[in-house]
Structure 1
Amino acid sequence: MKYALISDIHGNLQALERVIEDIAERQVDEIYCVGDIVGYGAQPSECITEIKRICRGSVAGNHDWAAVGKTDIGFFNKEAKAAVLWTSENLDFEEKRFLAELPLKLYFDNAMIVHGTPVAPEKWDYLLYTNRLGAQFAYFSEPICFIGHSHVPVVWTNAYERIPPDTEKPLKLEEGRRYIINVGSVGQPRDGDPRACYSIFDSEKKAVYIRRVEYDIDTAANLIRDAGLPEKLASRLYRGF
């Protein structure tokens, strides 16, 4: 089976549509969302509609639950707070109910999905350094856990390795090795590459592919500006950071 893992769409319909087109060309069997469908971008409703249409399942991200009052936004920066409030005002009842009912964890094909970290996913912690890996692997038993949240694609192993993404060749999963894989961000990459990012997991070939896709940043940025959202949320799309 081939699975596409998409995360951190953040209301960026232009990026999501291009990723969906790319997925359609790769004989993927199922699509899973790793959270943060909304927030930052100007088309949250449209992105929710697409995720409901294409995804086998989705987990909650902090911006998803923030938009429906299920998580504290006290630690959000001012741009994120402004986007959460705007998003909440622009979603209807059914869209809010969908976000509110998203689970914190999902399981498929001997893999787990959480938005933040396996340890206490409801706290929305970031996995950024190898010195935090030991505790993370103790909180799930599957060979692979797919995460998002940091908007930076990267692979961590239970041998305390940090493997940078390589879009030119797949990551071959080794027997007996366990992995935490950040699948990257569709709608707001933060690794210096502004292209939309997602991952494909081939469970038969035991391989993970990191995909980058060009999209219409101008339209996404202008929609953010037209909505009256903070300028930083538009301009950062061009930098990929």
Structure 2
Amino acid sequence: MLIAVITDLHANREALEACLAHAEERKVTRYAFLGDLVGYGADPGWVLDKVMEYVRQGAWALIGNHDAGLLQNERQGMNPTARNVVEWTRAQLNAGQLDFIAKLPYRIEWQDILFVHANAWAPENWEYIDGVMEATRSMHATKASITFCGHVHMPTLFHISLTGKTGEFVPTPEEGIPLSKQRRWLVIPGSAGQPRDGNPAACYATFDTESQVLTYYRVPYDAETACQKIISAGLPAVLGHRLLHGN
């Protein structure tokens, strides 16, 4: 089975369309969407409908912190920009879409794989994996050999050796990485809808369950259109401009 792992879509229709088309060309057989389906972007309804369509066909989907924010009546902890985006996004969605979000899980386990949005130790608290220390904590919090994780918008790969030493590296796109059974792994594909590593191309990854090969991808998309749609919707212009630079 070839699984495409796509996370942090952030209501970016253009990026999601590009990633899905790219994945279909590689004959992906199953999809996992790791949360933050909405937030920041101008097409929350379209993105949710597309994810719901894939879920009906057998895809996995998780809730992210931006998705969960739509379900909360009190938003005092948010800064004015974030509160604005949440309120605008909620107004674009129908009851069925909000109900879909409300039923999304925090984690999904399948065979020897764990899918989470934020981390394995407390996925509902939305704490970030900012480096080796948090990655080690997350890998120790699960029995799964491979954890796929979103929330962090920069592609990264962590692993723990048999001696307990944790390693970290930034993967090269399109170079297959065999995930040895002698190690445990934490895979952060990066954000499809809002990359933040200085590269505006959308991020996602595939994992072949037979060969145990992981491959990261960068997919160029029409970021100019996505940017202009954000500005036209009356959302903060900075949310559109950052798409052009990947920051």
**TM-score, structure 2 length as denominator?**
0.93
Deviation at 1:137, TM superposition (A): 1.7
1:210 aligns to what? 216
Alignment-mate amino acid for residue 60 of structure 2 = G
Alignment-mate amino acid for residue 45 of structure 2 = S
1:188 aligns to what? 194
Deviation at 1:68, TM superposition (A): 1.8
Structure 1: which 5+ runs fail to align? none
Deviation at 1:168, TM superposition (A): 3.8
Deviation at 1:119, TM superposition (A): 1.1
1:26 aligns to what? 26
What secondary structure sits across from 2:82 in the alignment? helix
Residue of structure 2 aligned with 1:177, choices 159, 164, 183: 183
Deviations 1:36-89 (A, max 9, x none): 10000010000001111124110100001101218x754544432221111111
Q: Which moved more, 1:22-31 or 1:79-88?
A: 79-88
Deviation at 1:23, TM superposition (A): 0.7
Residue of structure 2 aligned with 1:66, choices 66, 69, 73: 69
Within 5 Å, give how 1:1-241 maps onto structure 2: 1-55=1-55, 56-69=59-72, 73-158=75-160, 159-241=165-247
Q: Distance in 1 between matches of 2:80 and 2:182?
A: 44
Deviations 1:120-155 (A, max 9, x none): 111101101112233212211010010010111101
Q: Distance in 2 between matches of 1:85 and 1:164?
A: 35
Q: 1:74 to 1:179 in 2, by over 3 A?
A: farther
Q: Which moved more, 1:75-84 or 1:22-31?
A: 75-84
Q: Which moved more, 1:222-231 or 1:50-59?
A: 50-59
Structure 2: which 5+ runs fail to align? none
Tell me the matched-pair count: 240
Deviations 1:101-134 (A, max 9, x none): 1000012242011100111111101101112233
Mapped contact 1:79–1:233 kept (Cα < 8 A): no
Q: Distance in 2 between matches of 1:81 and 1:220?
A: 21
Identity across aligned pairs (percent)? 34
Q: Distance in 1 between matches of 2:233 and 2:48?
A: 18
Mapped contact 1:109–1:203 kept (Cα < 8 A): no
Cα RMSD after superposing both structures: 1.4
What secondary structure sits across from 2:166 in the alignment? coil
Alignment-mate amino acid for residue 108 of structure 2 = L
Q: 1:148 to 1:213 in 2, by over 3 A?
A: same
Q: Distance in 2 between matches of 1:111 and 1:61?
A: 18
Mapped contact 2:128–2:134 kept (Cα < 8 A): no
Q: Distance in 2 between matches of 1:75 and 1:2?
A: 40
Q: Distance in 2 between matches of 1:168 and 1:120?
A: 31
What secondary structure sits across from 2:31 in the alignment? strand
**TM-score, structure 1 length as denominator?**
0.95
What secondary structure sits across from 1:35 in the alignment? coil
